[in-house]
Amino acid sequence: MHDGRKPELALDEPWRNPQATPYISIRNVTKRFGDFVAVNDVSLNVYRQELFCLLGGSGCGKSTLLRMLAGFEEPSSGQIFIDGQDMAGIPPYSRPVNMMFQSYALFPHMSVQDNVAFGLKQDRTPLKEIRERVAAMLDLVKLSPFAKRKPHQLSGGQRQRVALARSLVKEPKLLLLDEPLGALDRKLRESTQFELMNLQDKLGVTFIVVTHDQEEAMTLASRIGVMNQGHIVQVGTPSEIYEFPVNRFVADFIGTVNMFAGRIVDEDSNYVRIAAEADGCTFFIDHGVSASPNAQLWVALRPEKINIGREAPADTRENCVQGVIDGIAYMGDVSVFNVKLASGRMVKVTRPNLIRREEDTLTWDDEVWLHWHPASGVVLTS
Amino acid sequence: MSRGSQLPLGDRLAAGPRGLTSTLAQLPPLRLLLNALARLPLSGHHAVIGLPYLWLGLFFLVPFVIVLKISFADQLIAQPPYSSLVDLATEGYISLKLNIGNYTFLGSDPLYFNAYLKSVEIAFCSALICLVIGYPMAYAMARSDPAWRGVLLMLVVLPFWTSFLLRVYAWIGLLNNNGIINNVLIGLGLIQEPIVMMRTNFAVYVGIVYSYLPFMILPLYSTLEKMDLTLLEAAEDLGCRPLKAFFTITLPLSMPGVIAGFSLVFIPALGEFVIPDLLGGTETLMIGKVLWDEFFSNRAWPIASAVAIAMLSLVVVIMAVQKMLAKHAEASQ
Ligand SMILES: Nc1ncnc2c1ncn2[C@@H]1O[C@H](COP(=O)(O)OP(=O)(O)OP(=O)(O)O)[C@@H](O)[C@H]1O
Ligand SMILES: [Mg+2]
């Protein structure tokens, strides 16, 4: 929805340019806690003014990676460069980095405005300037009426905004935000997202944001890094991650997907035919695949890329399957159909509600055909 | 919690085993009593809280009232060595004679004022020394490996397993002119003559600081251990060096512990008798010792009682101040 402001447009996609120098360069970084490997051989470049989102399940090492960038943990091996400088041995207070903590870490004995002013005071900023900048920042996060309160007198969302304001007020070159907007209501979240992007435009800040919210990652990020069990599995723009996931984990983690297991039955340089025998359908994919014949493959099919209807498609040999509607969820903008195939598996299909009230609407227990375009399925080898 | 447990005690008595009590409750005297009880704000909670109050009343308030009574009596050479306040001598009158002379005497003899002053000074300095020694210890304990904390805590309270008196006596053996410390120093050739440590204020300080240090460490440890360490990370992240972060974050947040530890050392040290008696000399004039002398050497029970009451008042004032400070420290978090 904020597409027009997406930073990648202004950025001109530096990650596609081999000459571009990254602002942050993480090289083969591993972090072990005893025997446990929390971050496993991660290499990653982030460019100036990017808004990089780290996405991944709970406990996959996102916070640990951020903490290494901020300097609270030393990598067990590997190197981190920020602006060309090796960060090894540089304490947190000397790094050009501010972090917003997942637990907020607000100083309980200081008022909201003292919390926000804390970082500026450390730099011996003139008092007058501190007052102005704190006031402006509190205005931004809509906390001005609460300036004199202590953190324990605030709601969860208000505390989160104080933490955000405290990390933003120093206008650092690199901002690390660990779940910055999780506790905010939708409206406030959108306006804060908007402000984050404004800030990025205005100050040229580079962001690394950890989030659980895919939609947030999609709207905010110039690029997304998907993590799983300490590894970075895929890095790419939101559309790359969504439309071209590299494996089943990413496809499954980002958005909803119907996964069909199958084998190649016929292939050429510009097409491939995959039979999903268990589900009784054949996929015709309009591009070649580099996989050994007979190897197990998966085809990922997003719910919105499947057509649903009572009539059979013209060609019923491939890229279609028959089923019975088992459930319908009305979501307002779209309806989600759960279709039961003959094999017993469920397939999710979404269809936009184009008309307010349809005459001959699909309903429970209707026999339907599902069919899709040859370019819709994503072939995954792992 | 069920409704029943919050019924006033009187109501519940009245609602007891039906047949008997309901008829009994109809009888005028019992009905009046039950009505009166029902009107009192008595409940299960009060009964639970009431027990310790009863204990305190019996073993603190009653002796206190007795001491208060004696402090207003005349000194007699008799058994007991003080006069009775209530007199039935005159026919048809009960006379109550309060002798405030004991208190005015405290004011007139500078001995007492000096003893109070010295006690406050010694108690205050001891608490301060305990704080200076105890804070780093508590800090180190709270930041040590969690597996070790229990052991360290155990070591701090270990001295309580031997008698307090015994431990103070042990210090005599250490501090004496021919005690262990002097013998070792002379043996090493560092000194020729023994250093006089026994019967000085120094020995009293050593004794008090040694005995009361655990009372400083324990509350400090518990506040420091509870502290959220990400606060320090946040401070560092915002450009604050670790030493400054200690003074702006850790120290203010540990204030409740500092106040608690300080009062736990200061208040008992104020009335300390055993340590100044065993380790102190004539220069250590502490109020606890004065009190002892008045009671047992001079048999001046009324004066001694007045000394005790005056000290209690002093402690009450100090505790009120401490409570205020603690409330302030709490409110600022
Ligand atoms: N100090 C530590 N000692 C031991 N294990 C740790 C430590 N810190 C983190 N871990 C482990 O490392 C893993 C990664 O933790 P991390 O906090 O980075 O997860 P995360 O991706 O931020 O998860 P979440 O989304 O739930 O915040 C977890 O399994 C955690 O248990
Ligand atoms: Mg985390």
Q: Which SS3 state, helix, strand or coil, does residue A18 take? A: coil
Are both A371 and A307 inside the same structural domain?
yes
Report if residue A245 sits inside a domain. Answer: yes
Alpha helices, DSSP H, located in B28-177: 28-39, 44-56, 62-71, 101-108, 110-142, 146-157, 164-175
Are both A224 and A334 inside the same structural domain?
no
Window from A56-65, B1-10, B74-83 with minimum mean pLDDT: B1-10
Pairing of strands A206-211, A51-56: parallel
* Average pLDDT over every residue of B58-82: 88
Report if residue A53 sits inside a domain. Answer: yes
Range of the domain at A314: 256-380
CB contact under 8 A, A72 and B233: yes
- A152: which DSSP letter? G
Last residue of a domain, one of A235, A251, A267: A251
* Average pLDDT over every residue of B290-308: 90
Report if residue A139 sits inside a domain. Answer: no
Decide: A333 and A304 in contact? Cβ < 8 Å: no
Are both A218 and A196 inside the same structural domain?
yes
Q: Residue A316 maps to which CATH number?
A: 2.40.50.140
**pLDDT at res. B250:** 95
Buried b (16+ CB within 10 A) or exposed e, B9-37: bbbbbbeeeeeeeeeebeeeeeeeebeeb
Window from A40-49, A207-216, B78-87 with minimum mean pLDDT: B78-87
Interface check B145 vs A, CB under 8 A: no
**pLDDT at res. A353:** 86
Report if residue A42 sits inside a domain. Answer: yes
Give the tens place of pLDDT for each residue, A7-18. 444 457 888 888
Window from A200-209, A368-377, B183-192 with minimum mean pLDDT: A200-209
Decide: B184 and B104 in contact? Cβ < 8 Å: no
CB contact under 8 A, A122 and B240: yes
Structural domains counted in chain A: 2
CB contact under 8 A, B333 and A98: no
Res. B24: pLDDT tops 70: no
Report if residue A154 sits inside a domain. Answer: no
Res. B330: pLDDT tops 90: no
Interface check B251 vs A, CB under 8 A: no
Are both A241 and A264 inside the same structural domain?
no
**pLDDT at res. B42:** 65
Tokens 């990676």 belong to: A65
d(CA B290, CA A136): 64
Percent of chain B at pLDDT exceeding 90: 54
**pLDDT at res. A195:** 77
**pLDDT at res. B230:** 93
Q: Please measure the distance between the N-terminal and C-terminal CA atoms of chain B and give it in whole angstroms.
A: 31
Are both A182 and A276 inside the same structural domain?
no
- Residue A3 confidence class, pLDDT cut points 50, 70, 90: very low
d(CA B38, CA B158): 50
Give the tens place of pLDDT for each residue, A305-348. 999 988 888 887 888 898 999 999 988 889 999 999 988 889 99
Last residue of a domain, one of A251, A266, A298: A251
* Nearest residue in chain B measured CA to CA from A123: B239
Residue B145: CA atoms inside 13 Å, Cβ hemisphere, count? 3
Are both A327 and A217 inside the same structural domain?
no
Give the tens place of pLDDT for each residue, B186-245. 999 988 989 999 999 999 999 999 999 999 999 999 999 999 999 999 999 999 999 999
What is the token pair recorded at A190? Answer: 């959108």
Are both A32 and A89 inside the same structural domain?
yes
Atom number, ligand 1, closest to the C-alpha of residue A56: 21
- A94: which DSSP letter? G
Are both A190 and A76 inside the same structural domain?
yes
Atom number, ligand 1, closest to the C-alpha of residue A39: 14
Of the candidates A334, A340, A342, A339, the one whose C-alpha atom is nearest the C-alpha of residue A304 is A334
Interface of A with B in 63-92 (CB under 8 A): 70-72, 91-92
CB contact under 8 A, A105 and B236: no
Last residue of a domain, one of A194, A224, A251: A251
Nearest CA to ligand 1 atom 6: A33
Res. B16: pLDDT tops 70: no
Res. A109: pLDDT tops 80: yes
Q: Which long-range contacts (CB under 8 A, 24 or more apart) does B102-109 make?
A: B102/B71, B102/B72, B102/B302, B102/B303, B102/B305, B102/B306, B103/B71, B103/B306, B103/B310, B105/B303, B105/B306, B106/B303, B106/B306, B106/B307, B106/B310
Are both A282 and A320 inside the same structural domain?
yes
* Average pLDDT over every residue of A190-200: 80
The string of DSSP codes covering A318-351 is SSEEEEEEEEEEE-SSEEEEEEEETTS-EEEEEE
* Cα dihedral A80, A85, A90, A95 sign: negative
Q: Residue A192 maps to which CATH number?
A: 3.40.50.300
Are both A245 and A270 inside the same structural domain?
no
Give the tens place of pLDDT for each residue, B120-157. 999 999 999 999 999 999 999 999 999 999 999 999 99
What interface predicted TM-score (ipTM) does this complex get? 0.80
Are both A80 and A178 inside the same structural domain?
yes
Q: 3-state DSSP: chain A helix, strand, coil percent, rounded to 5?
A: 30, 35, 40
- Residue B37 confidence class, pLDDT cut points 50, 70, 90: low
Report if residue A46 sits inside a domain. Answer: yes
Report if residue A149 sits inside a domain. Answer: no
Cα-based torsion angle of the residue sequence B181, B183, B187, B190 in order, rounded to the nearest 10 degrees: 50
CA-angle at A111, arms to A107 and A116, nearest 5°: 70
Report if residue A347 sits inside a domain. Answer: yes
| Centroid of ligand 2 to alpha carbon of A101 (angstroms) | 9
* Nearest residue in chain B measured CA to CA from A109: B333
Interface check B330 vs A, CB under 8 A: no
Contacts of B62 (CB under 8 A, 6+ apart): none
**pLDDT at res. B126:** 96
d(CA A194, CA A201): 11
Interface check B163 vs A, CB under 8 A: no
Res. A6: pLDDT tops 70: no
Burial tier of A284 (Cβ tally within 10 Å: 0-12, 13-18, 19+)? middle
Are both A199 and A244 inside the same structural domain?
yes
d(CA A140, CA B32): 68
CB contact under 8 A, B238 and A122: yes
Q: Which residues line ligand 1 (CB under 6 A)?
A: A 33, 36, 38, 56, 58-64, 102
Q: Which domains does chain B have, with CATH numbers?
A: 1-40 (no CATH), 106-332 (1.10.3720.10)
Interface check A34 vs B, CB under 8 A: no
**pLDDT at res. B41:** 66
